[in-house]
């Protein structure tokens, strides 16, 4: 080619450059990744051609150089790979999206070539007002060629005096890009982010040393990448400390992980990587998006939501696969069958590893369980296949700190904790301090109590009730101990309906407003507390599930619900009830309901009379209840034991208690 040619890039629209800038690449900084990846591809292709015997010359030291001239606002990416002829530039550069990678792979299979789309080069125009290519092909008799374009469909191409094999891409940064990407520090940062594991050495400047009070360049190239990262090596070659060192290199501010999984599969897809299980100190500060996705050792993204199941995004580590389909920007994943297969494979490998530790290292598994529990529960709730596997290695932990497999625990408690309906009742607590009295009451009955203090446990116990036949979970404070695991039908105290209504009204008069209360009399024994406040298992559980985003907002919007059990066999309570009967006169008989033929005025008159009688009786009950310090004291004690006594009510309780003590001392 002896003359300079001008022409138009082969695209279907003249607006291709604005499209590239605004839509094809969501993040402008990846231009450097794309250009370095092209240079790495050219080097890898050169190596493949030489190893195949097609190239007989001197291969040389294959590497990619990145050079920045801050004053001139130019950035150069230089390789000594296969180079291009003028025909190849016309075919692969002037015809957008006609990548040479696909064609090359057909001839040289099993080579790690990154590019697939041919649009990577054009990402340069996101930051450059002009781009030039100088290239000399490896082919015998090839001549140097230069191509230039100023960010529009027109280009110039002609001969140049380049005499070394390879390609030089020069970006003339626009003013805005020069501010963002025209400094050594920024380029170093981008290379560290995207290119630190690329399979060909990437050089940026020289290594520095401290001399005469400042850093100065040495003669040694600053190679920013490791060409053989740990995941590309065979597990048999590696030791525990190798995996731990690699983790610290990836996450220098993190604690050492619990354990790791080395992924290595080449059929029916290619996938390598290392996944780490991090320690979770604060369950509410869980971090996602710590798995880095690579394509032939080129960093793509740390958002792998579409590749691994959601629960596995809690893990750390790297995944590398050329078979994960990417769109032209490599920034978002395209869903296809390979992705689904890879996701299934990773889930299986994780389950295999967890089951292996459970079976072969049971002591270590129990020590790690508190850190693993949230992760495994999340997986069981969100992935059916993982759930079926996890039922074999998930653990329960009781309030004494002892661990059980799900199967072993059922065997341990079935005999003593089976109710009259033949269901095994799993008692649990969520806070051993707040629910201490209820836990002790259960233990005094010979029952075991599990500790379920994970944020997901409201959902988790629901799942387990579905997965484990003839099972029911009940929190220890959801009812009185005899009602938690009823062994037979229990006879309730006989009370007239009017007395039940008065008892309910009396307690509601002194309980905090804004909640729903269900008052019920029972015989719990003279040594049991006079009043026990519990929370209905169903309502409380679904409120918690709603708070965790379980799609049950209906329950989250309802007032809190409490069961108030009045122990009529307690001497104090028996005295209060007896006194109340003597001081609260029975409610006046209500007028009969109006007949069908009654006029509207008559109906309203009778309704008003009935309501007036009820209100008058309620006023009598309220006056008695609010004036009865002993009633308020026993109710406040029950509230206090449940952490429900607050503000003015707590202050009044303290003052009343001090008065009782003072009165007792005077006697």
Between CA 112 and CA 199 the distance in angstroms is 9
The pTM (predicted TM-score) of the whole model is 0.75
- Note whether 100 and 48 are within 8 A (CB): no
Residue 318 pLDDT exceeds 50: yes
Between CA 294 and CA 490 the distance in angstroms is 65
Query: What 3-state DSSP class applies to 517?
Result: strand
Between CA 635 and CA 645 the distance in angstroms is 10
- Note whether 128 and 73 are within 8 A (CB): no
Closest CA relative to residue 346, chosen from 370, 313, 378: 313
Query: What 3-state DSSP class applies to 176?
Result: helix
The tokens 């129990």 sit on which residue?
Answer: 366
Q: So what's the pLDDT on residue 3? A: 61
- Note whether 313 and 291 are within 8 A (CB): yes
- Note whether 226 and 199 are within 8 A (CB): no
Closest CA relative to residue 38, chosen from 195, 159, 188: 195
- Note whether 200 and 62 are within 8 A (CB): yes
Q: So what's the pLDDT on residue 19? A: 53
Q: So what's the pLDDT on residue 423? A: 95
Q: What is the DSSP letter of 20?
A: I
Residue 425 pLDDT exceeds 70: yes
How large a percentage of the chain has pLDDT more than 90? 56
Region of poorest pLDDT, from 136-150, 319-333, 590-604, 651-665: 319-333
Between CA 307 and CA 346 the distance in angstroms is 9
H/E run at residue 372: helix 362-382
Q: So what's the pLDDT on residue 489? A: 80
H/E run at residue 18: helix 16-19
Between CA 4 and CA 2 the distance in angstroms is 7
Mean per-residue pLDDT for 15-41?
Answer: 73
pLDDT band at 335 (very low <50, low <70, confident <90, very high): low
Q: So what's the pLDDT on residue 267? A: 77
Q: So what's the pLDDT on residue 380? A: 95
Q: So what's the pLDDT on residue 18? A: 58
Region of poorest pLDDT, from 35-49, 239-253, 483-497: 483-497
Q: So what's the pLDDT on residue 100? A: 45
Q: So what's the pLDDT on residue 94? A: 79
Length of the chain: 667
**Average pLDDT of every residue of the chain:** 86
**93-106 pLDDT tens trace:** 877 534 443 443 45
Question: What is the chain's percent helix, strand, coil content, to nearest 5?
Answer: 40, 20, 35
Per-residue exposure over 651-666, b if at least 16 CB sit within 10 Å of its own CB, e if not: eebeeeeeeeeeeeee
Q: So what's the pLDDT on residue 12? A: 44
Residue 523 pLDDT exceeds 50: yes
Burial of 36 (0-12, 13-18, 19+ CB in 10 A): buried
Region of poorest pLDDT, from 10-19, 193-202, 392-401, 624-633: 10-19
- Domains of the chain (ranges, CATH numbers): 5-209+219-223 (3.30.565.10), 230-361 (3.30.230.80), 491-667 (1.20.120.790)
DSSP letters, 474-494, are: EETTSS-HHHHS--S--PPPP
- Note whether 150 and 129 are within 8 A (CB): yes
DSSP letters, 201-234, are: -EEEEEEEEEETTEEEEEEEEEE---SS-GGGS-
Mean per-residue pLDDT for 145-168?
Answer: 91
pLDDT band at 281 (very low <50, low <70, confident <90, very high): low
Backbone conformation region of residue 424, classed left if phi is above 0, alpha if psi is from -120 to 50, else beta: beta
Residue 331 pLDDT exceeds 70: no
Closest CA relative to residue 381, chosen from 557, 551, 257, 554: 551
Structure tokens given for 146: 């230069």
Mean per-residue pLDDT for 378-393?
Answer: 94
Structure tokens given for 479: 């009812």
Closest CA relative to residue 230, chosen from 245, 220, 214: 245
Side-chain half-sphere CA neighbours of 376 within 13 A? 22
**295-304 pLDDT tens trace:** 889 888 888 8
Between CA 553 and CA 555 the distance in angstroms is 5
Residue 456 pLDDT exceeds 80: yes
């Amino acid at each position: 080619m002896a003359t300079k040619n001008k022409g138009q890039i082969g695209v279907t629209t003249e607006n291709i450059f604005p499209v590239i800038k605004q839509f094809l690449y969501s993040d402008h900084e990846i231009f450097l990744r794309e250009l370095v990846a092209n240079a790495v591809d050219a080097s890898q292709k050169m190596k493949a051609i030489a190893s195949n015997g097609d190239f007989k010359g001197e291969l040389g030291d294959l590497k990619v150089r990145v050079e920045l001239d801050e004053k001139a606002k130019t950035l150069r990416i230089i390789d000594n790979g296969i180079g291009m002829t003028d025909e190849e530039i016309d075919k692969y550069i002037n015809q957008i999206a006609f990548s040479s990678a696909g064609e090359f792979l057909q001839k040289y299979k099993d080579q790690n070539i990154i590019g697939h789309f041919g649009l990577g080069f054009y990402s340069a125009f996101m930051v450059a007002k002009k781009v030039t290519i100088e290239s000399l092909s490896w082919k015998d008799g090839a001549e140097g060629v230069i191509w230039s374009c100023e960010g529009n469909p027109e280009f110039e191409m002609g001969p140049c005096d380049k005499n070394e094999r390879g390609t030089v891409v020069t970006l003339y940064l626009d003013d805005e890009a020069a501010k963002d990407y025209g400094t050594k520090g920024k380029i170093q940062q981008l290379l560290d982010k995207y290119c630190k594991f690329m399979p060909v050495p990437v050089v940026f400047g020289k290594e520095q040393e401290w001399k005469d009070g400042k850093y100065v360049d040495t003669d040694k190239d600053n190679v920013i990448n490791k060409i053989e990262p740990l995941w590309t090596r065979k597990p048999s070659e590696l030791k525990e400390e190798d995996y731990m060192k690699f983790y610290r290199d990836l996450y220098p501010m993190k604690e050492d992980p619990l354990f790791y999984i080395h992924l290595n599969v080449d059929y029916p897809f290619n996938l390598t990587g290392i996944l780490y299980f991090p320690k979770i100190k604060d369950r509410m500060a869980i971090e996602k998006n710590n798995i880095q996705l690579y394509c032939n050792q080129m960093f793509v993204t740390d958002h792998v939501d579409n590749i691994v199941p959601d629960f596995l995004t809690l893990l750390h580590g790297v995944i590398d696969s050329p078979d994960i389909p990417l769109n032209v920007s490599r920034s978002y994943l395209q869903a296809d069958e390979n992705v689904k297969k890879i996701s299934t494979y990773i889930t299986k490998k994780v389950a295999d590893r967890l089951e292996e530790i459970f079976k072969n290292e049971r002591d270590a598994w129990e020590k790690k369980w508190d850190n693993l529990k949230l992760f495994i529960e999340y997986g069981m709730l969100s992935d059916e296949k993982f759930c079926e596997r996890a039922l074999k290695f998930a653990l329960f932990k009781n309030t004494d700190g002892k661990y059980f497999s799900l199967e072993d625990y059922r065997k341990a408690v079935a005999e003593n904790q089976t109710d009259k309906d033949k269901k095994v009742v799993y008692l649990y607590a969520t806070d051993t301090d707040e629910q201490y009295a209820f836990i002790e009451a259960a233990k005094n009955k010979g029952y075991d109590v599990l500790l379920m203090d994970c944020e997901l446990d409201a959902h988790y116990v629901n799942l387990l009730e579905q997965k484990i036949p003839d099972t029911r979970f009940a929190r220890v404070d959801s009812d009185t101990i005899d009602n938690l695991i009823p062994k037979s039908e229990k006879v309730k105290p006989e009370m007239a309906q009017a007395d039940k209504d008065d008892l309910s009204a009396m307690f509601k008069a002194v309980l905090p407003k804004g909640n729903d209360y269900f008052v019920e009399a029972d015989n719990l024994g003279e040594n049991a507390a006079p009043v026990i406040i519990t929370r209905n298992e169903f309502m409380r559980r679904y409120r918690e599930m709603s708070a965790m985003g379980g799609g049950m907002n209906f329950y989250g919007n309802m007032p809190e619900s409490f069961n108030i059990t009045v122990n009529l066999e307690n001497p104090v309570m028996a005295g209060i009830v007896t006194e109340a009967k003597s001081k609260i006169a029975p409610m006046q008989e209500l007028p009969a309901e109006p007949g069908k033929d009654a006029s509207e005025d008559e109906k309203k008159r009778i309704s008003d009379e009935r309501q007036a009688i009820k209100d008058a009786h309620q006023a009598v009950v309220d006056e008695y209840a609010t004036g009865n310090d002993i009633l308020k004291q026993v109710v406040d004690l029950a509230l206090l034991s449940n952490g429900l006594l607050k503000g003015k009510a707590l202050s009044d309780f303290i003052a009343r208690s001090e008065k009782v003590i003072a009165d007792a001392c005077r006697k």
